Amino acid sequence: MFGSTWRGFDPHSAMSWFAVAGIESVQITDIPNTYDYALDKGFYGERKIESYEIPIEGEPIGHSLGVRVSEPRKWELVSPSASFRVGNVWNPEAKRIPDRFTHDHLSEMASRYGLRPFDEDFFAPQGRGVIVARTDLPMPEERLMSLAESRGER
């Protein structure tokens, strides 16, 4: 699932609905830290994997592991004690917080779920794929962005 709202896409509602229906879901986020403090422009970085586990009985259990920028130039850990059904991959001993959960760690965690989100062939096998787009009008407080706008190309 992809979303193009100016604040990004928040899949937690959909993930919790899926979990209640017995469907396991995984969210993978990898945003480079492009925030420029002097210009007050750009995006805070985040590298994270989240999942809703479906227990045999009881409520769905959410797990999260990663790092993110919480304020300019300050990285923090996200739920380092989370325990995923596929196990955890990270380096709690790394001196720098962003090095505790790297892009390679994120890729390894995704591959344990059978996902390859950084491999173009995963999304379009044999060079073909289908994109499903939202066609309803945005809410008054929403503003849609094109991919080029989000990349700063326009």
User: Could you tell me the residue ranges of all domains in the chain?
Assistant: 12-150
> CA 2 to CA 120: how far, in whole Å?
15
pLDDT tens digits, 117-136: 888 788 777 877 776 666 77
pLDDT at 95 over 90: yes
- 9 with 2: CB under 8 angstroms? yes
Q: What is the pLDDT of residue 7?
A: 55
pLDDT at 90 over 70: yes
- Closest C-alpha to 44, from 67, 66, 71: 71
pLDDT tens digits, 32-48: 888 888 888 888 899 99
Within 1-154, strands assigned E span 25-31, 46-53, 61-71, 74-78
pLDDT at 3 over 70: no
